């Protein structure tokens, strides 16, 4: 982990990017490298990192699912998403629709994909992408759809969040 932090600090990353990498990304890369260093194949290492990541994503899902019990939470959710995706240091994104029924955004550049590519493990980015389906999926009155991601060789990440509760 220390070596990865050192490499990040030597790169051309902004302070905001480094903070997000340290908090959300490089722990998976460190775990992956550790498993490989211990003799596991890349595929075995990836599966173990995926299992751990899915466990963490499930915790985030439970919290988000609880919030969606709050009447009108979709509106708050949209505000958080807009705030989180603003700027271009973490994501470069374009909002396609933002109303009481839909929040659609295309992500054209992603720090997770950039970081995995920087550390020469683009195969790991798929795990982060799949975790989104765990975090945002299976919530009553809320639908998450996506047909492609940058981390899975798509041209963009096409996020679509749909409010099925009929309240904004």
pLDDT, tens digit, 9 for 90 and up, residues 56-93: 999 999 999 999 999 999 999 999 999 999 889 999 99
- CA 48 to CA 40: how far, in whole Å? 10
pLDDT score for 1: 81
pLDDT score for 123: 97
Q: Are 168 and 161 in contact (CB under 8 A)?
A: no
User: What angle do the packed helices 111-118 and 26-37 form, to 10 degrees?
Assistant: 30
Higher pLDDT residue, 1 or 139? 139
- pLDDT above 90 coverage of the chain, percent: 88
The overall average pLDDT reported for the chain is: 95
Phi-psi domain of 72 (left: phi exceeds 0; alpha: psi -120 through 50; beta: other): left
**Cα(first)–Cα(last) distance of the chain, in Å?**
43
pLDDT at 48 over 90: yes
pLDDT score for 25: 97
pLDDT score for 130: 98
Separation in Å, CA 44 to CA 96, 120, 140: 38, 17, 34
Domain limits, the chain: 2-163
Q: What's the DSSP call for residue 71?
A: T
3-state secondary structure of 85: coil
**Mean pLDDT along residues 42-56:** 98
Per-residue confidence band for 102, with pLDDT thresholds at 50, 70 and 90: very high
pLDDT at 168 over 60: no
3-state secondary structure of 16: helix
Q: Are 84 and 10 in contact (CB under 8 A)?
A: no
166 closest CA partner among 67, 32, 73, 46: 73
pLDDT score for 124: 97
136 closest CA partner among 71, 77, 94: 77
Q: What's the DSSP call for residue 39?
A: T
> What's the alpha-carbon Rg for the chain, to the nearest Å?
17
**Mean pLDDT along residues 8-12:** 88
pLDDT digits (tens, 9 = 90+) for 130-161: 999 999 999 999 999 999 999 999 999 999 99
pLDDT score for 167: 60
């Amino acid at each position: 982990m220390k070596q990865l932090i050192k490499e990040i600090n030597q790169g051309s990353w902004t302070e905001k990017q480094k903070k997000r990498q340290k908090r959300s990304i490089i722990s998976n890369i460190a775990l992956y490298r550790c498993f490989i260093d211990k003799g596991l194949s890349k595929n075995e290492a990836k599966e173990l990192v995926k299992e751990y990541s899915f466990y963490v994503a499930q915790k985030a899902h439970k919290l988000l699912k609880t919030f969606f019990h709050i009447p009108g939470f979709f509106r708050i959710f949209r505000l958080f998403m807009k705030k989180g995706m603003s700027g271009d240091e973490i994501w470069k994104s374009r909002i396609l629709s933002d109303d009481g029924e839909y929040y659609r955004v295309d992500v054209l550049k992603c720090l997770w994909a950039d970081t995995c590519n920087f550390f020469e493990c683009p195969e790991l980015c798929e795990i982060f992408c799949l975790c989104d389906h765990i975090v945002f999926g299976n919530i009553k009155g809320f639908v998450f759809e996506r047909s492609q991601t940058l981390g899975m060789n798509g041209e963009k990440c096409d996020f679509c969040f749909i409010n099925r509760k009929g309240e904004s």
